[in-house]
Amino acid sequence: MAHQHHSATEEQDHDQEQAQEYEHEHDHKQITDSDGVTVESALVGDGLELSYPASEETIVDCARLDIPEAAVTALVGPNGSGKSTLLKSLSNHLEPDAGTVQIHGEDLDSFSQKELARELGVLSQENDSLGSITVEDLVYHGRYPHRGFFDSVSEEDHRAVNRAIELAGIDHICDTELGQLSGGQKQLAWIAMVLAQDTDVLLLDEPTTFLDIHHQFRVLETIRQLNEQKGVTVAVILHDISQAARFADYLVAIRDGELYDWGPPEEVVTEQLLADVFGVEATVKYEPELQVLPKQALPDNRL
Amino acid sequence: MAEAQSIDEHAAVREREGWVTGRLVLFCLASVGITVVAGLVQVSFGEYSMTFVEAWKAVFNPTVIFSLDAWSAFLFGTELPDMSTGSVVVWNLRLPRVFVGIIAGATLAVSGAIFQAVTRNELASPFILGVSSGAGFAILATLVVFSGLSHLLPLVAALGGTVAFVVVYMIAWKGGTSPVRLVLAGVIVNMIFQSLQQGLFFFADDLGVVQTAIAWLTGSLTGTGWGEVRIAIVPAIIAIGIALAGSRQLNVLMLGETTARSLGMQVERVRFFLSAVAILAASVAIAVAGIVSFFGLVVPHIVRNTLGGDYRRLMVGCLFAGPALMVTADVGARLALSGTQIPVGIVTGLIGGPYFLYLMRKQQSMGEL
């Protein structure tokens, strides 16, 4: 596994260092950031090989993936690189052909479905459009894993829902039916539902795609607040690499189902990465802050 | 601390509205009203005619209502105590038919509502999914061939319904299923079972059995009495109770399979379990009233159009609207043509079919919920 990682990164010394660091981490089941500070991982994917039941083809082959505790990690990569697939296996929606996923050091398989839903919240990319449910009712569904078959709504449920609604900033549309909302408001409602689940780890699949810029920021700010106030671990797939670079604590770059690079944005985002992973020629500025300026698409010789 | 306080204040300002809305209460009251009026019409008219007042008096005759002997006769089939002719006609002949109508209406409506959520398909109903014809075939086979098992009719019906449902699902399933595939599979399985039903007629010895069988297949409450109430009441209460308790599960299921899974639901297990409940509910109705067409399909639609898609309300709505419509339809079936009774399934088919067509024309798209 490790040599694949090398081949993807050997063009850059910087990356090579990381690859070595990576091997080192592998032995100790722990990762360190560039300053040598140990980072605990909330979620670890180990030796994952993923494919869909209908096809033979392995879509993701990833030696090790870490989602650091209490940080925001963005998964980036081009369309079809396997980000969503990877996220599905991290959330137990897809059984890996090989490898394991651990949350806080325990195998996902050792949890019952409900127990897992109390640890791990997931928002998938496509949510069925329900017309006639109010935002508040939707958010209350987030309490599902906390309630038994015959349990009524508890005081704690009320509190969690109110907190989620407030955090997502959607008090004013609480009683509105989902069908009457804009795409951005809908997305905030779905996010509030996942927040009401009250989990330590949150996985979000492209929560900002198709939203206008205002709602993109609203969504990202909500996630950031949640992370800062409650120390929630977030793994989020973002379409826009420059947005991801500005927003996340860590980036995971994925190419063709393999982990290309991992680390803080300033280290991961390079002109080389943009060429290799995204197939674009771009300038990257590191001062005063990280900025990606894409220029043109490179000839498509990877396929 | 400050944050906690602001949240508390916030909660106080925006008190959560319960799911029991004024509209729901009104809807249920109206349904009860319709059921009572239709029931009174049903008990008043017939060969032994009474005025409304007489019928009303007979229904609320305290010597019957507070008589343990009478109730034990009704519910456990013991000897009927002496009572006036009016009381006998009302309590022993006409009212039980109304009760059977109430039970069949409620169970069919609830069954349709569950099937529509489980398959996320608004075209789903016990009839479309083959449950009705499967159960019908099983019952027919029991009547014609294994007549010794007739006290187990609901169970037999449930068995037949389950087999048909599983077959339909297996045909329609290809790594998931779509409303159209499901309906097509249902149509095919329905046709097969109908052929089997017709085939069974050749094995019937006398004309009486054939006539009963035909009444059965069209759905009829003619001649139903306390015996049918006794057969149906317990499984009906069980099925309805679970359905009501499961309405929150159905709501979560409506969020889509992926979301339901993310929220910690064991989707396949819940689907399977609730389908079983829906089959049981439909089988109860089929066992006592035969195949009443369109009922399980149309009633949830009427309720959904009035009360919205929240299953907590929808289920309660179905529980009240089903009996109201069934008893009313049965009044039509019994009294519309003087001198002869037609099966209630013909009435529901004649009204429900066109109503459904109207819905199809009115709505832009029909299929997925």
Q: Could B264 and A115 be called an inter-chain contact, meaning their C-beta atoms sit closer than 8 Å?
A: yes
> How far, in Å, CA of A100 to CA of A96, rounded?
7
| Phi, psi (rounded to 5 degrees) for B198 | -65, -35
B230 at A interface, C-beta within 8 A: no
Distance (Å) from the alpha carbon of B16 to chain A's nearest alpha carbon: 8
* Closest in A124, A133, A163 to B262, CB measured: A124
Pairing of strands A72-76, A98-103: unpaired
- Residue scoring higher pLDDT (B1 or B200): B200
Of A177-186, A248-257, B174-183, the one with minimum mean pLDDT is B174-183
CB pairs under 8 A between A and B: 77
Compute the distance between CA of residue B37 and CA of residue B41 in angstroms, rounded to an integer.
Answer: 6
Under the banding of pLDDT at 50, 70 and 90, the label for residue A73 is very high
Cβ pair B7:A163 closer than 8 A: yes
Q: Which residues of chain A are within 8 Å of residue B310 when distances are taken between CB atoms?
A: 132-133, 137
pLDDT at res. A35: 60
Chain B (286-325) residues lying within 8 Å, Cβ to Cβ, of chain A? 308-310
What residue in B sits closest to A122 (Cα-Cα)? B262
CA distances from B89 to A87, B77, B100, B330 (A): 68, 17, 16, 17
CA B203 to chain centre: 30
Per-residue pLDDT band at A173 (split at 50, 70, 90): very high
d(CA B245, nearest CA chain A) in Å = 7
pLDDT of B204 > 70? The answer is: yes
Enumerate residues 336 to 365 of chain B having a beta carbon within 8 A of any beta carbon in chain A. Answer: none
Residue A26 has pLDDT above 60, yes or no: no
pLDDT in tens, B242-269: 999 999 999 998 888 889 999 999 888 8
What is the average pLDDT across B226-237? 90
| Residue B237 CB coordination number (10 Å) | 14
pLDDT value of residue B263: 93
- The structure tokens listed for B86 are 């009016």
- B7: contact with A, CB 8 A cutoff: yes
Q: Do B310 and A130 touch (CB under 8 A)?
A: no
Whether B220 shows a pLDDT value over 60: the answer reads: yes
ipTM over 0.90: no
Q: Is B25 touching A (CB cutoff 8 A)?
A: no
Which CATH fold topology does A31-127+200-278 show? Rossmann fold (3.40.50)
- pLDDT of B3 strictly over 50: no
CATH class of B97-337+344-359: mainly alpha
Task: Report pLDDT digits (tens) over A134-169.
Answer: 899 999 999 999 988 777 888 999 999 999 999 999
Contacts of A94 in chain B (CB under 8 A): none
- Cis geometry, peptide bond prior to residue A288 (ω within 30 degrees of 0): yes
User: How far off is chain B from A95, nearest CA to CA, in Å?
Assistant: 14
Q: How many CB atoms lie within 10 A of CB A70?
A: 17
Nearest CA to CA, how far is A142 from chain B (Å)? Answer: 7
Report the pLDDT averaged over residues B17-42.
90
Distance from the B6 Cα atom to the nearest Cα atom in chain A, whole angstroms:
10
Residues of A in contact with B255 (CB under 8 A): 127-128, 130, 138, 141
Residues of chain B with C-beta less than 8 angstroms from the C-beta of A186: none
Chain A residues closer than 8 Å to B258 by CB: 93, 124
Cβ–Cβ contact B20 with A under 8 A: no
Higher per-residue confidence, A8 vs A185: A185
Q: Domain extents for chain A?
A: 31-127+200-278
Look up residue A14 and give its two tokens. Answer: 């910087």
Statement: residue B100 has pLDDT above 90: yes
Confidence tier at B16 by pLDDT (50, 70, 90): low
**0.95 cut: is pTM over it?**
no
Digit-coded pLDDT (tens) for A180-234: 888 889 999 999 999 999 999 999 999 998 889 999 999 999 999 999 999 999 9
Q: Does B95 touch chain A (CB under 8 A)?
A: no
